[in-house]
Amino acid sequence: MINITLPDGSVRQYEKGTSAMDIAKSISEGLARNVLSAKVNGEVWDANRPIDQDSHVQLFTWNDKDGKMTFWHSSAHLLAEALEAVYPGIKFGTGPATENGFYYDVDLGEKTLSTEDFKKIEDKMLELARQKNTFDRKPISRNEALSYFKDKGDEYKIELIEKRGENEALTLYQQGGFVDLCKGPHLPDTGKIKAVKLLKVGGAYWQGDESRQQMTRVSAISFPKQKELTQYLHMLEEAKKRDHRKLGAELGLFMFSEKVGAGLPIWLPKGTALRTRLEDFLKKEQIKRGYQPVITPHIAKKDLYMTSGHYEKYGEDSFQPINTPREGEEFLLKPMNCPHHCEIYGHKPHSYKELPIRIAEFGTVYRYEQSGELHGLTRVRGFTQDDAHIFCTPDQVKDEFLNVLDLTMHVIRKLGFENFTAQISLRDPLNKEKYIGSDENWTKAEQAIIDATKEVGLETVTELGEAAFYGPKLDFMVKDALGRSWQLGTIQVDYNLPDRFELEYIGADNKTHRPVMIHRAPFGSMERFIGVLTEHCAGKFPLWLAPEQYIILPISEKFQSYAEDIQNQLAAHDIRGNIDSRNEKIGRKIRDAQVNKYPFMLIIGEKEVNENKISVRQSGQGDEGAGDMGSQSLDEFVTYFKTLL
Amino acid sequence: MINITLPDGSVRQYEKGTSAMDIAKSISEGLARNVLSAKVNGEVWDANRPIDQDSHVQLFTWNDKDGKMTFWHSSAHLLAEALEAVYPGIKFGTGPATENGFYYDVDLGEKTLSTEDFKKIEDKMLELARQKNTFDRKPISRNEALSYFKDKGDEYKIELIEKRGENEALTLYQQGGFVDLCKGPHLPDTGKIKAVKLLKVGGAYWQGDESRQQMTRVSAISFPKQKELTQYLHMLEEAKKRDHRKLGAELGLFMFSEKVGAGLPIWLPKGTALRTRLEDFLKKEQIKRGYQPVITPHIAKKDLYMTSGHYEKYGEDSFQPINTPREGEEFLLKPMNCPHHCEIYGHKPHSYKELPIRIAEFGTVYRYEQSGELHGLTRVRGFTQDDAHIFCTPDQVKDEFLNVLDLTMHVIRKLGFENFTAQISLRDPLNKEKYIGSDENWTKAEQAIIDATKEVGLETVTELGEAAFYGPKLDFMVKDALGRSWQLGTIQVDYNLPDRFELEYIGADNKTHRPVMIHRAPFGSMERFIGVLTEHCAGKFPLWLAPEQYIILPISEKFQSYAEDIQNQLAAHDIRGNIDSRNEKIGRKIRDAQVNKYPFMLIIGEKEVNENKISVRQSGQGDEGAGDMGSQSLDEFVTYFKTLL
């Protein structure tokens, strides 16, 4: 008998050679139906692979990231099997799972494949899936593997095998008639795969090397239920419409310029108005909570980053140092604000009575990213962090976490997000010597983070061993209206920089102490956050934040002065907007106003002027069109408007 | 007879060989007494140098910059004469006039000179001045000059002469027994110099070269009246007290860090509050006037500056390009915002109906300055311009100038400056081919600038030939409370960048046109402007702008909760301030509050709490101490406070 320890700490005894699937069955048949793979002593295994010794076992279903990965990886094999059936003789490169589905790179030889072929490939995949073929794992020697693929004539697999060590143990996996070189793990059988959709066909160089063969990359996704595929495809459609790059251009929020450079967003007037209003709102909330704004330069001497350790860590992959006409003088573009803030803390002596000191800056930083990784506002080379650094005593860590969580949850709700979670990253309790800072302070800080999240009722997952070497942290995640998860910012405890910058305060004991430093940028960056917000609200920003809250549409030029009068009266109520004075038909004006997603259209014609009223249309949420609210007096409108803020 | 044309265009006839002094006498004896030198056909001459041909003549008095330069340059010769009398046998380097006085670099040999010797040197200068010795100009050949200074044994003058061309005409000037190699011009006689003051003695390398002889630099100033010297010395004392570097540290406005780098100010919380409030005020005023704020990155690809021409012009003396891990990719730190704004204008087509488009940004730029030239906030390597670029039709230039002048004068008055002038720089009418842009547009723009300044009643001086090659401009100057002039920012017409960026609009004629671009940063930079403002108001900022408008001083800790109550009530009235809760004597608290220049101190003791009042002290302007306003109810104080905003 062997002992199997489950994640809840319970230990059960099984026969030697039992599998994760057997374990699942011993718990419940329902669970067993859903098990896709399992983590056995830290490694993800096939659910039906025999376990021969005492082990820690964690079962994975579709709800686990690792479960999805197994599902999609097996789907890639199924895709390959189908492709081989439809295009006999093609050769296979690699076929991994991705964050959203999977792909296989194949060499079609003389054959071609286009979106018109998708249906027949999908049909073949489903036909093979219905056969419920098991994925059979076969350990094999390097030579056996070589000989198999030489016989088959698949030069790409041969190249992959030749790169492996002489005595390395390899495995093949076979489902139905298809055999692949693969580490696994895989699903129990192909029958789990109930829905597949090919998404894209394109080119990709073998091994990512531009000098090698161009392969055909077939990308697809699969699900255990047809309904999930339908939902996913609808979400993709919706996401396309909400793409912040598309909306950003349509709404005139931001632009990119080839001459300025990729990944360097330029904020246009409407985007600037939006961003500035959001920053001002955040600033005000921070000042209420005792933050002190500062402004620091966007460059610093290399010395600063030698002291902080950033130069050593990021030097080569980053924007390179800036030389000057003076020999040996070097500056660096600021990749983070913390070293500057340490200099501010350190420029004068502090007493414990002054702590916590919260130094805040909407600081623009620059970090080099490969051009292929850039994406709209969410992956850029220059961005403005909602940054602050808190210098406090070890006993103040919990209150500071509470303060930051309160701020973040207040703001995130004000922006119309409802689904908000966090990951707490703690140290590896078995390797405490890897971390700097005293054991006492670590214990105190970790408990402070856990307690603070409980107190505010924030849903969290906790990961052991994921802390940075210099302190534990908390990462925020938000779910948008389409159910997609976005990583936002972080609260990070740091015992390292106060040491490197020799920061101090005089304690109540009249002795010198090191403050704890807390980095926090709960939204990460204004760029990323506005990108996510744009997609979340499909460009229909919360009324208080919208760059323009209304557009007045006069039916003819005759009503221009009445329109201006309305605009002035609204301005007196701090309601901001514009007049579409173009010489265009009202239908066109309404359509353009819809594209621009103004929260309100105020239409003015003969009747409205005579009755001293306005015709109000309110924009709906998400896909909804504009709701006609009929003719109203300005006072009625203003009263209604203010209930929405 | 020769024709003499005066600056007002009038032409008078004089005998050949007449001098500027003769011309002055022919106008009035009073004028003649004040004439120091004169510009003759574009060159500054001795007032009594004979004029032999038809000429344009402009007379200079103490009120002209050139007049002052002549005065101080002659004073440097007088200083040298006095030094030679006091220290026989010393050798002379160079002795120029400066912006504020003059100096002479001398080689004292074995002798030494300290501030204790100043009095006897000043006395000797005044004794020699009273002799009213004329400054006699003597043209001389290179060989004669060499032989004179070889006889005298003055190696520095010999080196200077040897650097001159073989056949170059040199001149000596002699007053009393002192002869110097000098181009002139000089005063009619030493008698004009009525007051002198030696200010400093220090070291300076010969020819600024660290490998050469160290000379002794004696710096001094002189005036035509004793009263002016007294005023100047008082101003120097006052300026020292108001030095923004000293006040910036005392008030906690900004700091510098060796690790971040010289010339890169770091704004501390109080300075940030001040600067942000000032920026927000300017932004609001600009938005009222139709500006559209944008935000652009602090770097751009080198391409952008190749297109704009800035790279070619500033390349070598600037911060050098930033390389990246990608071969051949180069970015530049942004030295100015205009190229970015051109990209914004150019990113979509424009109709004449949209013009003028006013793109505004508080844009932080970086320019390399030699470390020796850096000075507090007024000469830095990184600064934030109150920048905007206006794209308009040639016909809109005047209205845009009026708009900018209105904004600038409104703001400058709101900040407590009363003395505000401008220089208009026009093209050289005799060299029109040096300038780009059509003659018609230049004429229109120059007239527009002149007319606009007249319309708003702005005092100006006009300089021909001082325009940039790409357009005429206007520079703002402000006089501070000590009477010192500060150069602020500029409004600059530009026909060049629209060409280089191929900017266009569709005119009413349905054809494509180039817009005119106007650069404007009326205050230059936030850093410089806040530096000047700090010295102008001696750190006592206008009440609406002060980072903290009051400090509450409880006489004992018992009154803390009453103090907090007062603070909350004031906050409800948007009056911001703090409580000095330290366990210190009230006398100490008052002294510290004075150093921190809080506009109001609100003192709270037993009596105030019992009577539900506060004791108010208002800070005086300039040197004035705090005025005791006695015991008041909070309502009385708030009412009074609001009259001051």
| Helix A397-414 vs helix A439-456: crossing angle, to nearest 10 | 30
Q: Give A-chain residues touching B325 at CB under 8 angstroms.
A: 316-318, 368
Q: What is the mean pLDDT of chain A?
A: 93
> Concatenated DSSP letters for B498-531?
HHHTT--EE-TTSSEEPPEEEEEETT--HHHHHH
Torsion angle in degrees (nearest 10) through CA of B434, B437, B438, B444: -100
Q: How are the residues of chain A apportioned to helix, strand and coil, as percentages rounded to the nearest 5?
A: 40, 30, 35
Q: Give B-chain residues touching A333 at CB under 8 angstroms.
A: 298-299, 322, 333
Cβ atoms of residues A6 and A39 within 8 Å: no
Quick one: average pLDDT of A415-431?
Answer: 89
Least confident of A118-132, A183-197, B321-335, B624-638: B624-638
Residue with token string 């220090």? B202
Q: In 3D, which of B623, B604, B601, B463 has the Cα closest to residue B538?
A: B623
Identify which of A261, A317, A382 has the shortest CB distance to residue B325.
A317
Q: Which of residues 304-363 of A touch B (CB under 8 A)?
A: 304, 307, 316-326, 331, 333, 339-340, 343-344, 347, 359
- What is the phi/psi pair of residue B373, to 5°? -95, -5
The pLDDT value given to residue A576: 94
Element (H, E) at B479: strand B473-479
Q: Is A286 a catalytic residue?
A: no
Q: What is the pTM of this model?
A: 0.86
Q: Is the pLDDT confidence value at B622 over 60?
A: no
The pLDDT value given to residue B625: 56
> Which domains occur in chain A, in start order?
2-61 (3.10.20.30), 66-233 (3.30.980.10), 255-296+336-536 (3.30.930.10), 550-643 (3.40.50.800)
- Burial class from Cβ neighbours inside 10 Å (0-12, 13-18, 19+) for residue B177 reads exposed
Q: In 3D, which of B506, B546, B540 has the Cα closest to residue B620?
A: B540
Q: How are the residues of chain B apportioned to helix, strand and coil, as percentages rounded to the nearest 5?
A: 40, 30, 35
Q: Give A-chain residues touching B261 at CB under 8 angstroms.
A: 297, 299-301, 331
CA angle A251/A255/A261 to nearest 5° reads 170
Q: Is the pLDDT confidence value at B624 over 70?
A: no
Q: What is the distance, to the nearest Å, from the Cα of residue A432 to the centroid of all Cα atoms in its chain?
A: 30
Cβ atoms of residues A400 and A392 within 8 Å: yes
Condensed to tens digits (0 to 9), the pLDDT of residues A589-643 reads 999 999 999 999 999 999 999 999 999 999 875 555 568 888 999 999 999 999 9
- What is the phi/psi pair of residue A201, to 5°? -125, 135
B300·A331 Cβ contact <8 A: no
Residue with token string 């597949």? A196
Condensed to tens digits (0 to 9), the pLDDT of residues B57-96 reads 999 999 999 999 999 999 999 999 999 999 999 999 999 9
User: What are the CA-CA distances from residue B307 to residues B311, B365, B385 (Å)?
Assistant: 9, 18, 22
ipTM of the complex: 0.86
Q: Is the pLDDT confidence value at B495 over 80?
A: yes
The pLDDT value given to residue B176: 93
What's the full length of chain A, in residues? 645
The pLDDT value given to residue A312: 83
Q: Is the pLDDT confidence value at A241 over 80?
A: yes
Identify which of A296, A299, A303 has the shortest CB distance to residue B366.
A299
Bridge-based pairing state of the strands B2-5 and B55-60: parallel
Q: Is the pLDDT confidence value at B166 over 90?
A: no
pLDDT band at A211 (very low <50, low <70, confident <90, very high): confident
The pLDDT value given to residue A173: 96
Residues 6+ apart with CB under 8 A from A286: A293, A358, A360, A388, A407
- Rounded CA-CA distance A186/A204 in Å is 25
Condensed to tens digits (0 to 9), the pLDDT of residues A275-288 reads 999 999 999 999 99
Cβ atoms of residues B366 and B298 within 8 Å: yes
Quick one: average pLDDT of A369-389?
Answer: 94
The pLDDT value given to residue A104: 97
SS (HEC) of B334-360: CCCCHHHHHHHHHCCCCEHHHCCEEEE
User: What are the CA-CA distances from residue A513 to residues A472, A500, A502, A516 (Å)?
Assistant: 20, 14, 10, 10
Q: What is the mean pLDDT of chain B?
A: 93
The pLDDT value given to residue B626: 60
pLDDT band at A407 (very low <50, low <70, confident <90, very high): very high
- Rounded CA-CA distance A630/A613 in Å is 10
Cβ atoms of residues A422 and A409 within 8 Å: no
Element (H, E) at A343: helix A338-346
Nearest chain A residue to B307 by CA distance is A259
Condensed to tens digits (0 to 9), the pLDDT of residues B186-226 reads 999 999 999 999 999 999 999 888 889 999 999 999 999 99
- Rounded CA-CA distance B166/B156 in Å is 18
Residues of B belonging to the active site: 338, 367, 385, 387, 389, 473, 519
Q: Give A-chain residues touching B340 at CB under 8 angstroms.
A: 257, 260, 266
Condensed to tens digits (0 to 9), the pLDDT of residues A444-494 reads 999 999 999 999 999 999 988 899 989 999 999 999 988 888 999 899 999
Residues 6+ apart with CB under 8 A from B44: B37, B38, B60, B66, B69, B70, B185
Q: Is the pLDDT confidence value at B306 over 60?
A: yes
Q: In 3D, which of A468, A378, A479 has the Cα closest to residue A421?
A: A479
E-strand ranges in B256-408 read 266-267, 292-293, 299-301, 322-323, 330-333, 357-366, 382-392
Q: Which of residues 369-398 of A touch B (CB under 8 A)?
A: 371, 382
Chain B: closest CA distance from residue A396 (Å)? 21
Q: Is the pLDDT confidence value at B429 over 90?
A: no
Least confident of A550-559, B176-185, B311-320: B311-320
Q: Name, of A35-44, A266-275, A437-446, B592-601, the range with top average pLDDT.
A: A266-275
The pLDDT value given to residue A8: 87
Sequence-ordered alpha helix ranges (H) in B17-168: 20-27, 29-34, 65-86, 118-130, 142-152, 155-162
Q: Which of residues 255-274 of B touch A (CB under 8 A)?
A: 255, 257-261, 264-269, 271-273
B318 secondary structure, DSSP code: S
For residue B356, is the peptide bond before it cis, meaning its omega torsion is within 30 degrees of 0?
Answer: yes
User: What are the CA-CA distances from residue A312 to residues A303, A306, A308, B301, B323 (Å)?
Assistant: 11, 7, 9, 25, 17
